[in-house]
Chain A
Amino acid sequence: GQNIDQPTEMTATEGAIVQINCTYQTSGFNGLFWYQQHAGEAPTFLSYNVLDGLEEKGRFSSFLSRSKGYSYLLLKELQMKDSASYLCVREGYGGSQGNLIFGKGTKLSVKP
């Protein structure tokens, strides 16, 4: 299979930092996306990692370790509007290249 594991729910406080972890199957792996999805809306793109390391983009950063099949999304200076589901999405290689396999999402609740 192409199991993607991420926590189901997380809660954090406004202004804090939160890290959402994701593990995935490494065989046939091409790249990893993080998407944000508010309830009732389509996902929106946050980041794409294909090489090992940390990529920073404003308040959001994403890390990838290809050998460990591990990624995390780091959200800094949390705001109430960050309350959403965060989807760890694996991009396949070869026959499934370009097709995205979605994790079940981590529902983040930001509290005042």
Chain B
Amino acid sequence: GAVVSQHPSWVICKSGTSVKIECRSLDFQATTMFWYRQFPKQSLMLMATSNEGSKATYEQGVEKDKFLINHASLTLSTLTVTSAHPEDSSFYICSARDRDEHRSQYFGPGTRLTVL
């Protein structure tokens, strides 16, 4: 089946630094990728929708200047958390939609971010 990878799987950083998370579709082409955030004991919340070659669409309340999304190719999207603060500590999960299977969304394994 379709596989989505994320890197890194976990990261610890100091407050004020920036962290980049990569999301890759390994065996399919993804025209659309989604970024989610999940706080402990809460459900996933969609942050933004990323379409290859165009600007990401952010959900209400998500700062686009803080969470930079780049979807440069059909297999790679990146999320950069700029000037991270402890409240940004969360589980970040990406999903990718297979270009040839319109209904599918395959999830990456997630990235655990801890900001000290």
Contact = CB atoms under 8 A, between A and B. Distances in A.
B67 interface: no
Sort chain B's interface into a size bin.
Answer: 20 to 34
Interface of B: 32, 34, 42-46, 49, 91, 93, 95, 97, 102-103, 105-110, 112
Contacts of B93: 42-43
Contact of A100 (B46, B91, B108, B109): B46
Which of A41, A43, A87 counts the most B-chain CB atoms under 10 A from its CB?
A43
A41 B34 contact: no
Contacts of A105: 43
A98 interface: yes
B105 A98 contact: yes
Nearest to A107: B41
Q: How large is the interface on A (under 10, 10 to 19, 20 to 34, 35 or more residues)?
A: 10 to 19
B107 A103 contact: no
Contacts of A103: 43
B107 A87 contact: no
Contacts, number: 42
A83 B107 CA distance: 20
Contacts of A42: 93, 107-110
Q: Pick the most buried of A45, A98, A105: most chain B CB atoms within 10 A of its CB.
A: A98
Contacts of B108: 42
A67 to B, nearest CB: 21
A91 to B, nearest CB: 8
B110 A41 contact: yes
14 contacts: A41-B110, A42-B108, A42-B109, A43-B93, A43-B107, A44-B107, A45-B106, A87-B43, A98-B97, A98-B105, A99-B34, A100-B34, A102-B43, A104-B42
